[in-house]
């Protein structure tokens, strides 16, 4: 706000001791002709911003009048506004009185309203409630009674405010001691000030008889909530009839405005100064004590006797002018004469307020944009508001859900996709089935061989023994199929648990994934009725698919209990490979050195052995047996007596290979078809039927399903009103060219 301005720095003329300006019957307003167009533009802007109600959301420049009780605040407000306020004991300073004054070419009028920010218990409402109190006032004489009644309504929030508009007010009815809720006056007229200010309850040191001890802190907190805002000009009133040091209001102002940049000091009741002590108070005016950037002013308002005698506002201003035209006030230097009288104070407030508006305007504009952005963000966080066509909205939501579910069941490329979650369980299932392979050992009991693979366990003499015991009418060297089937069933009987475990894992994954999809699509809708209904339907449909899938798995397990295959080539190929493997193991054990010699005889280091092999091959050729290789001589070894057992082992092991690969394919396919993809089939029909989305009462049912949670609707409406206020305020700034 800068240094103190001289008389010539303002566009408003000050009264001097010799002024003879006529005194208007209206308040000392800011609509004086001397105001510059730019200042008028600024004041009009803030007035328009206040009219939007945006002061609820942000810090707008205003003036707050503070002081201890009986410091003369109300009289000062009357002098500025030109209206009479209640002076009945007990109510006039028990709640804030906000005044929004605006100049208008229309006839004078006043609208009284109540602003509730707390309930009857003093707890925040969460949403400010503004309530008009009576019809528009067109006669100034009616303001005092209307405001008195409004104050009674504020202090008795447990009763309807309208009950206080008429009838006799009970003097003994006090209600609350103090209230944060306030009486609001919106006054406009041709010669009304363009100004916003608030007469706050006077600070108290004690609760007084019958009062509440918490009132002291309540009032202090209330006053602080106004004057702590950076855009609040603090009008600190100090009564000259009481020692300055014991008037705590100015101490509070110093605490919240330590540099004194936005505080204006006002000395009231100068006529109560004991004779000879005026110089002590003049030290404030001359900037010698409690220095403030905007200085100290002194005003004189009518005393109680003059008011009882019906002194007019114009008469009060004349008496004030006459009072300051006497000693010792005339002895003040000319530069301080402008700090005397209500008119000079009001003019100074005009300058301070307009400068504050000009300095704050860029910040106000930025604050508006920030608040609009944050409000829009809060609105986006809220669930979508219910549509007028509730049934259509529910159907659209259901269709969107089923489409999204279909895409997820078909597979999506995301890492957390459904099929990606299922894949590890498929691998685990395959390993579990593979681990049931029969473990055959091509050696007799008691024989050992370090080269035996770890997966081999059943000795071949045990297999042969079981084959011999199973023979009935078969020819020699023929063994019944029941032996192979018995070994095969030992493996297949172990498949049930892995298959069902795999099924249960997929079921749990699918159930959890479905819950997430349902929550994503319906979690923020209404009171949760639609989400709960959809969840139950989807769960029932999933369980139905699971039941069918489990039956299919049991059927596939039963089918495997009858060993058979048309994949003969694959079976024969594996049987030959396993038989060769088993025979090779036996031959290596019984004829290992001879076999190795025959395989490498051409590179043998023993010429006698090489000659012997060549002689044997020549002899066979002379006998007419040609085409024999050295390795073929191994066939001359005696027949392995365990070969029947090796054939059985190879057949069992080959069939396991065929059936195992078939089984680890068909079970996942069955689960995918019946459970995963099966969930999509019929899900939309099930939802429509369960929610009864057809019929004459469908709109009513859907409205119930979409019914919002308590508080969501009011919060949305509050945010929408806030956004409307903010946007309106933004447009006001734009239209005025700032």
Least confident of 110-119, 527-536, 622-631, 725-734: 622-631
Closest CA to 108 of 24, 166, 34: 24
Sign (positive/negative) of CA torsion 568, 570, 571, 573?
positive
Closest CA to 85 of 110, 120, 61, 60: 110
Q: Is residue 89 part of a domain?
A: yes
Predicted confidence at residue 582, as pLDDT, reads 66
Same domain, 539 and 400: yes
Strands 296-298 and 195-199, bridge-based pairing: unpaired
Same domain, 322 and 420: no
Position 506 confidence tier, pLDDT thresholds 50, 70, 90: very high
Same domain, 319 and 420: no
Same domain, 414 and 360: no
Which helix (H) or strand (E) covers residue 265, if one does? strand 263-268
Q: Is residue 487 part of a domain?
A: yes
Q: Which domain holds residue 553?
A: 390-705
Instruction: Over range 565-580, report the average pLDDT.
Output: 82
CATH number of the domain at 474, please: 1.20.120.1240
Same domain, 512 and 588: yes
Tokens 């006053």 -> residue:
223
Same domain, 309 and 419: no
Residues 522, 687 contacting (CB under 8 angstroms)? no
Q: Is residue 369 part of a domain?
A: no
pLDDT one-digit tens code per residue, 369-423: 999 999 999 998 887 777 788 888 889 899 999 999 999 999 888 888 899 999 9
Write down the pTM of the prediction.
0.59
3-class DSSP state for residue 287?
coil
- CA 411 to CA 154: how far, in whole Å? 63
Instruction: Over range 534-562, report the average pLDDT.
Output: 94
pLDDT one-digit tens code per residue, 621-643: 777 777 777 666 656 655 555 56
Examine the fold and report which residue of 347, 364, 381 is the final residue of a domain before the chain moves on. 364
**DSSP line for 344-381:** HHHHHHHHHHHHHHHHHHHHHHHHHHHHHHHHHHHHHH
3-class DSSP state for residue 60?
coil
Partners of residue 187 on adjacent β-strands: 101, 110
Same domain, 346 and 266: yes
Q: Is residue 264 part of a domain?
A: yes
Structure-block tokens of residue 199: 């007469």
- CA 686 to CA 681: how far, in whole Å? 10
Predicted confidence at residue 457, as pLDDT, reads 45
- CA 251 to CA 460: how far, in whole Å? 106
The number of distinct structural domains making up the chain is 2
Tokens 């349902």 -> residue:
518
Same domain, 432 and 513: yes
Closest CA to 706 of 324, 441, 398: 398
Predicted confidence at residue 696, as pLDDT, reads 82
pLDDT of 66 over the 90 cut: yes
Q: Is residue 382 part of a domain?
A: no
Strands 109-118 and 182-189, bridge-based pairing: antiparallel
Instruction: Over range 479-493, report the average pLDDT.
Output: 75
Same domain, 297 and 401: no
Q: Is residue 157 part of a domain?
A: yes
Strands 232-239 and 97-103, bridge-based pairing: unpaired
pLDDT of 10 over the 50 cut: no
CATH number of the domain at 250, please: 3.40.50.300
Q: Is residue 599 part of a domain?
A: yes
Predicted confidence at residue 451, as pLDDT, reads 44
Same domain, 436 and 566: yes
Same domain, 622 and 701: yes
- CA 143 to CA 184: how far, in whole Å? 12
Q: Is residue 712 part of a domain?
A: no
Same domain, 146 and 195: yes
């Amino acid at each position: 706000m800068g240094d103190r301005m001289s008389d010539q720095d303002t566009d408003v003329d000050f009264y001097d001791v010799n002024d003879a300006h006529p005194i208007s019957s209206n308040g000392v307003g800011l609509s004086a002709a001397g105001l510059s167009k730019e200042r008028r533009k600024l004041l009009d802007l803030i007035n328009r911003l206040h009219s939007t109600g945006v002061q609820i959301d942000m810090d707008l420049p205003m003036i707050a009048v503070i002081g201890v009780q009986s410091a003369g605040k109300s009289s000062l407000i009357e002098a500025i506004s030109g209206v009479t306020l209640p002076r009945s004991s007990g109510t006039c300073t028990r709640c804030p009185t906000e005044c929004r004054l605006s100049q208008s070419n229309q006839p004078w009028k006043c609208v009284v309203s109540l602003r509730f920010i707390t309930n009857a218990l003093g707890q925040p409402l969460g949403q400010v409630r503004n309530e008009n109190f009576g019809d528009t006032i067109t006669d100034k004489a009616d303001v005092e009674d209307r405001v008195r009644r409004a104050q009674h309504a504020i202090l008795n929030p447990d009763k309807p405010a309208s009950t206080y508009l008429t009838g006799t007010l009970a003097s003994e009815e006090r209600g609350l001691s103090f209230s944060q809720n306030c009486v609001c006056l919106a006054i406009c007229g041709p010669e009304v000030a363009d100004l916003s200010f608030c007469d706050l309850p006077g600070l108290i040191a004690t609760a007084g008889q019958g009062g509440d001890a918490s009132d002291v802190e309540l009032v202090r907190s209330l006053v602080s909530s106004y004057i702590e805002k950076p855009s609040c000009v603090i009008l600190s009133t100090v009564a000259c009839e009481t020692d300055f040091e014991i008037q705590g209001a100015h101490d509070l102002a110093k605490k919240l405005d330590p540099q004194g940049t936005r505080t204006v000091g006002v000395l009231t009741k100068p006529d109560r100064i004991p004779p000879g002590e005026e110089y002590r108070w003049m030290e404030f005016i001359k900037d010698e004590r409690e220095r403030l950037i905007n200085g100290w002013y002194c005003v004189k308002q009518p005393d109680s006797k003059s008011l009882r005698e019906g002194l007019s506002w114009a008469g009060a201003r004349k008496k004030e002018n006459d009072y300051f035209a006497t000693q010792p006030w005339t002895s003040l230097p000319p530069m301080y004469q402008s700090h005397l009288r209500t008119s000079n104070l009001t003019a100074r407030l005009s300058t301070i307020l307009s400068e504050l508006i000009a300095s704050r305007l860029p910040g106000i504009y930025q604050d508006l944009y920030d608040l609009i952005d944050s409000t829009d963000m809060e609105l986006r966080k809220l669930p979508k508001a219910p549509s007028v066509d509730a049934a259509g909205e529910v159907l659209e939501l259901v269709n969107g859900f089923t489409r999204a579910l279909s895409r997820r069941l078909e597979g999506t490329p995301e890492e957390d996709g459904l099929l990606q979650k299922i894949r590890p369980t498929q691998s685990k299932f395959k390993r579990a089935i593979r681990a049931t392979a029969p473990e055959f050992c091509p050696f007799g009991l008691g024989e050992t061989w370090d080269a035996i693979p770890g997966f081999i366990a059943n000795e071949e003499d045990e297999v042969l023994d079981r084959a011999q015991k199973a023979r009935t009418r078969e020819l020699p060297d023929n063994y019944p199929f029941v032996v192979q089937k018995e070994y095969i069933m030992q493996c297949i009987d172990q498949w049930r648990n892995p298959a069902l475990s795999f099924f249960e894992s997929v079921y749990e994954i699918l159930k959890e994934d479905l819950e997430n999809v349902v929550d994503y699509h319906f979690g923020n809708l209404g009171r949760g009725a639609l989400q709960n209904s959809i969840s139950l339907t989807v769960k029932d449909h999933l369980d139905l698919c699971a039941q069918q899938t489990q039956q299919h798995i049991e059927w596939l397990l039963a089918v495997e209990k009858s060993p058979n295959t048309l994949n003969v080539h694959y079976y024969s190929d594996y049987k030959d490979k396993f038989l060769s493997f088993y025979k090779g193991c036996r031959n290596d054990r019984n004829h290992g050195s001879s076999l190795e010699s025959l395989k490498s005889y051409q590179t043998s280091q023993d010429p006698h052995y090489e000659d012997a092999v060549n002689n044997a091959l020549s002899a066979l050729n002379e006998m007419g047996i040609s085409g024999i290789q050295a390795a073929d001589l191994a066939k001359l070894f005696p027949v392995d007596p365990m070969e029947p057992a090796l054939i059985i082992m190879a057949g069992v092991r080959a069939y396991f290979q065929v059936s195992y690969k078939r089984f680890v394919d068909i079970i996942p396919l069955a689960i995918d078809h019946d459970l995963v993809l099966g969930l999509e089939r019929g899900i939309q029909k099930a939802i429509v039927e369960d929610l009864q989305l057809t019929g004459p009462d469908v709109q009513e049912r859907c409205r119930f399903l979409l019914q919002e949670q308590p508080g969501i609707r009011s919060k949305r409406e509050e945010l929408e009103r806030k956004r409307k206020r903010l946007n309106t305020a933004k447009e006001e700034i734009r239209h005025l060219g700032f």
